[in-house]
A and B are shown apart, each in its own frame.
Chain A
Amino acid sequence: MNAILTTHDLAVGYMHGKQVTTLLQGLNLTLNAGELVALLGQNGAGKSTLLRALTCAARPVGGSIALKGKDVTEMSQHERSRIIGLVSTERIMAGALTVRELVGLGRQPHTGFLGRMSSHDREIVEAALHDVGIAGKADNYVSELSDGERQKAMIAKALAQETPVIVLDEPTAFLDAASRIETMNLLATLAHDRGKAILLTTHDISRSLLLTDALWLITKERTVVTGPTKEMVASSVMNEVFTSQAVRFNPATCDYESC
């Protein structure tokens, strides 16, 4: 296995002035190339905080993160932008860009000072549009897209960025059933056929269990248990996620249900 992202004794949380609140600690995580991983946990457990730390949007409160074996604090923002691509739920103001222009922004880490694209850059943008299946809408405005198409466009942006790692925060959150399935299938393809290391958070548990290779579970004990999805589903660890006594994990349906 080719580990791209690793953490050593990582602790994440937030700082309020001088007061530090630690949400998760002692994390030794590994994200491998060609692997689709879901980060699961109940609301408030620290999923977003962990993602923010892994994408260097927030400083961890302890431990270290390495990309391709190099500590992230020793890397420039520009260097990191060529290794991790992000798809978040942040509201964007890009409605008046075409889909092609939006995906083209993914080339920014590779273009020069003025952001001018070479023919090579353009080819990569076209390939990314094609790979996510949105090439037919390349000349449409982003504002004309459905939520599912917009999500695909943002994934194409991350593909155009040509990063070995793609991190997605709730990629299926605002999508209808069909778009959820399409998006998850697309991510599985990108991991398995393209060798991307993909980490995502989701509340769509049953689907993520079907398609992912590994799980990172945030347990009630405020730590992260990791393992191949098949083994995790078969073990009792799935019941360590939710504090509620009213739900249990059913391995037969691969979903939580009331007891």
Chain B
Amino acid sequence: MNGGRSHRFTIVTVALVAVLLLLVVLNLLCGSVDIESSAVWKILTGGSSGNQAWDTIIMQSRVPMIITALLAGAALAISGLLLQTTFNNPLAGPSILGVSSGAGLGVAVIMLALGGNVGSVFGASVGSYIATLLGAFAGAALVLVILIVFSSIVRSSTMLLIVGILVSYLTSSVVQLLNSVATEEGVHNYVSWGFGTFSGVSLDQMPVYATLIVAGLVASVLMVKPLNALLLGTRYAENLGINTHRTRSLLLLITGVLTAVVTAFCGPIGFLGLVVPHIARLTLGTSNHSALMPVTMLAGADVALLCTWVSVAGKYGVIPINAITPIIGVPIIIYIILNRRKIQYFN
């Protein structure tokens, strides 16, 4: 980064932070219950609004939802970025490669096969959400291993995307089979989980959720040097002293943890991981990870908070997150596909 482009980095970062603050405020103020802004401010600064219900809504519902969305957006966006660089494939992402489906399968096994009693991710005992979390990670890891094996056999990046889509089909058919043997409660929990929501993390669960995601994000930042080397391909990266085998394994481990945690708590959120790294590259005009990494995190948090706001702003109840992400994501992907000759990082 130098001259004009470090200037551009500053502008983009400041703009994203401003949008982030704006969206946080909007998400605090908007919802099914109207709460005055002065009351919100009082509650946030440690006082009480005098209305018990308002206090509860802000502190137990809206604040955790905002933190959940912010971290989930950053985590999925970084997962997408790591997958795109690892597989040298700009159309890679945790949902399109089936990593989210794998995590979902793990969740389904815990929720459906082990009975509704272990069931709900929302609330329930500590043991139950830890089990869900481990299930999600096992599922995500399984898919990542399949992807590694396939990427070493078939070098074509299009084929890898197709493998990801096939894995998604396979996991959804396993989930259907599990559905037929599961309890009604288990099925209900699973279906509502599948819609995607950022309201699923309670205050008790927040420390685990936040710690895992922040750890994953910090680990990603430490990988900036080898990620940049990987832009030159395996052979160049190795010639620059990078152990590509170990680097790729580490990157996929980070991706697995980030995707699994978000998927277990929030459901299989589509498009975010695929789209946000492109938003970051296009606005910054670089694929240098030292600039791309922070901007991707911020943009991911912004997009997730935007989705959250849209989902609760209406007067007709809460819209599932997965009904909103494609509306934002699909146009951007189509733009990128149509302009791939003009966009520098394709050339």
Contacts and interface: CB of A to CB of B under 8 A. Distances in A.
A86 B236 contact: yes
B7 interface: no
A86 B239 contact: yes
A57 B287 contact: no
Contacts of B343: 96
A106 interface: yes
A94 interface: yes
Contact of A114 (B222, B234, B286): B222
A88 to B, nearest CB: 6
Contacts of B286: 96-98, 101
A167 to B, nearest CB: 9
Interface string A176-219: 00000000000000000000000000000000000000000000
A91 interface: yes
B344 A141 contact: yes
Contacts of A94: 231-232, 287
Contacts of A41: none
A59 interface: no
A88 B281 CA distance: 26
Interface in B60-74: none
A105 B345 contact: no
A90 B232 CA distance: 8
Interface string A103-137: 00110110101110000000000000000000000
Given A97-B286, A115-B224, A143-B347, A108 B238 contact: no
Contacts of A164: none
B240 A108 contact: yes
B235 A90 contact: yes
A113 B241 CA distance: 12
B346 A88 contact: no
Contacts of B285: 96
Interface string B1-20: 01111000000000000000
A96 B235 contact: no
Given A80-B241, A96-B285, A113-B222, A88 B236 contact: yes
Contact of A111 (B4, B225, B235, B243): B225
A93 B88 contact: yes
Given A93-B231, A93-B287, A101-B288, A108 B242 contact: yes
A113 B343 CA distance: 30
A97 B288 contact: yes
Given A97-B287, A109-B241, A57 B235 contact: yes
Contact residues on A (Cβ < 8 Å of other chain), bracket: 35 or more
B70 to A, nearest CB: 25
Interface in B215-252: 222, 224-225, 228-229, 231-236, 238-243
Interface residues of B, number: 34
B344 to A, nearest CB: 4
Contact of A109 (B224, B228, B233, B240): B240
A100 B2 CA distance: 10
B5 to A, nearest CB: 7
Contacts of A101: 286, 288
A151 interface: no
Contacts of B233: 90-93
Q: Is the interface of A mostly helix, strand, loop or mixed?
A: loop
A114 B225 contact: yes
A21 interface: no
Contact of A108 (B5, B229, B235): B229
Contacts of A85: 239
A81 interface: yes
Interface in B177-231: 222, 224-225, 228-229, 231
B218 to A, nearest CB: 12
Interface in B74-111: 85, 88
Given A113-B222, A114-B224, A81 B241 contact: yes
A4 B29 CA distance: 70
Interface in A161-179: 161
A86 B4 CA distance: 31
A139 interface: yes
Contacts of B234: 90
Contact of A84 (B239, B287, B290, B344): B239
A108 B224 CA distance: 11
Contacts of B235: 57, 86, 88, 90
Interface of A: 55-57, 77-78, 80-82, 84-86, 88, 90-98, 100-101, 105-106, 108-109, 111, 113-115, 139, 141-144, 161
Given A105-B231, A139-B3, 10 more contacts: A57-B235, A57-B238, A86-B235, A90-B234, A96-B344, A96-B345, A114-B222, A115-B228, A143-B346, A144-B344
22 contacts: A55-B239, A57-B238, A77-B243, A84-B239, A86-B235, A86-B239, A90-B236, A91-B233, A93-B88, A93-B345, A94-B287, A95-B287, A95-B345, A95-B347, A108-B229, A114-B224, A115-B228, A139-B2, A141-B344, A142-B344, A143-B345, A144-B344
